[in-house]
């Protein structure tokens, strides 16, 4: 049997591209190309491709339509929101995400943002670099511990569960809301977590963290009403997708101190406009969508990708396919 052709579009540096390619299984011919390559060149590459891997997770409609042999577009990322899922379905091309390969990386980043917000890490670190150590007199204690506080997790998929496991080690009280993937009673007992309504979670949590895909239903799910239900001492974390939280409402909540702080790894527009008011807010920490791509997660993503490709090549249904509608 002839080798299968896999085209890998990516903006990873050459060393990491090779890390991915090295995980290919026997019989896989991997052609690597820059993600920013012109569509004319991409069209020529995918005309006879059996599979396409993309990282970041975007491919134009024109390129997708040219991939007439393609059986699967395999994402190395977790989100489907940049893919035209209806078009892929019409073309008979499955679209799969990374199968949770980034769950540890994002969970660790989530915990870091929780701690950084409570300890005002960026504020004090920037002061030290600017030559301001700390006031010698009348020092205000404005940093806090997370022990004993209540963490509300919105979305209990691969990442939400990993966050729960890590949060338990910090002696946080755990609760969650998930409309689509509620845990079984045994899973809840194992994780030490209880299910609550969305409103209850917002009203009673000291920390709220979001771990949901960006879909029509989750777009803007945390807006003015939801932020208004949170405690003035509470913190919100978002390492999922920027559109999940209404950024105008978040800016208002932070400026008015109706919530204490926020930690974001994602924004609706990336990179944001330099004049975006969120960038000027002191009680907000923003990282540039770096939670998931770690040195350790890249080979995990590659292993899952090539195993899924082999699965489909053998005539089996693709794993980790899109279950949600685009926004």
Residues designated catalytic: 241, 270, 289
Cα–Cα distance for residue pair 76/304, rounded to 1 Å: 9
Output the CA angle 139-129-132, nearest 5 degrees.
Answer: 30
Chain center to CA of 147: 25
**Token pair of 12 as six digits:** 């990873």
Torsion of CA 158, 159, 164, 167, to 10 degrees: 150
Please check whether residue 234 is in contact with residue 283, taking contact to mean a CB–CB distance below 8 angstroms.
Answer: no
| CA R_g for the chain | 21
292-312 b/e (C-beta count within 10 Å ≥ 16 → b):
bbeeebbebbbbbbbebbbeb
CB atoms near residue 223 (< 10 Å): 15
Output the CA angle 167-169-172, nearest 5 degrees.
Answer: 50
* Sheet of 28-34, strands arranged across: 28-34, 4-10, 51-55, 72-75, 94-96
- Compute CA distances 179 → 187, 198, 321, whole Å: 16, 9, 19
**Which residues contact residue 123 at a Cβ distance below 8 angstroms, ignoring those fewer than 6 apart?**
282
Cα–Cα distance for residue pair 44/68, rounded to 1 Å: 11
Cα–Cα distance for residue pair 80/12, rounded to 1 Å: 19
Q: Which residue has the tokens 């975006």?
A: 276
Cα–Cα distance for residue pair 195/189, rounded to 1 Å: 11
């Amino acid at each position: 049997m002839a080798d299968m052709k896999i085209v890998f579009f990516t903006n990873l540096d050459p060393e990491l591209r090779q890390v991915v390619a090295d995980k290919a299984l026997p019989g896989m011919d991997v052609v690597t190309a820059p993600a920013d390559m012109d569509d004319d060149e991409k069209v020529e590459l995918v005309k006879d491709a059996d599979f396409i891997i993309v990282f970041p997770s975007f491919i134009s409609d024109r390129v997708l339509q040219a991939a007439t042999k393609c059986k699967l577009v395999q994402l190395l990322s977790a989100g489907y929101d940049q893919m035209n899922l209806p078009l892929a379905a019409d073309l008979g091309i499955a679209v799969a995400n990374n199968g949770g390969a980034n769950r540890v990386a994002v969970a660790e980043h989530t915990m870091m943002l929780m701690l950084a917000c409570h300890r005002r890490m960026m504020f004090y670190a920037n002061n030290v670099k600017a030559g301001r150590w700390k006031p010698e007199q009348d020092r205000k204690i404005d940093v806090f511990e997370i022990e004993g506080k209540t963490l509300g997790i919105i979305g209990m998929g691969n990442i939400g569960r990993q966050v729960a496991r890590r949060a338990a080690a910090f002696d946080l009280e755990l609760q969650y809301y998930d409309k689509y993937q509620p845990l079984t009673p045994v899973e809840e007992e194992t994780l030490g977590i209880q299910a609550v309504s969305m409103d209850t979670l917002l009203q009673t949590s000291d920390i709220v963290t979001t771990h949901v895909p960006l879909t029509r239903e989750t777009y803007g799910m945390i807006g003015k009403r939801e932020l208004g239900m949170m405690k003035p001492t509470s913190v919100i974390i978002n390492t999922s997708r920027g559109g999940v939280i209404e950024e105008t409402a978040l800016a208002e909540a932070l400026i008015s101190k109706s919530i204490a702080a926020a930690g974001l790894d994602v924004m609706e527009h990336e990179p944001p406009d330099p004049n975006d008011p969120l960038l000027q807010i002191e009680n907000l920490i923003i990282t540039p969508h770096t939670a998931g791509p770690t040195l350790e997660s890249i080979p995990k993503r590659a292993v899952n990708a090539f195993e899924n490709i082999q699965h489909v090549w053998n005539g089996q249904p693709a794993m980790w396919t899109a279950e949600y509608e685009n926004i």
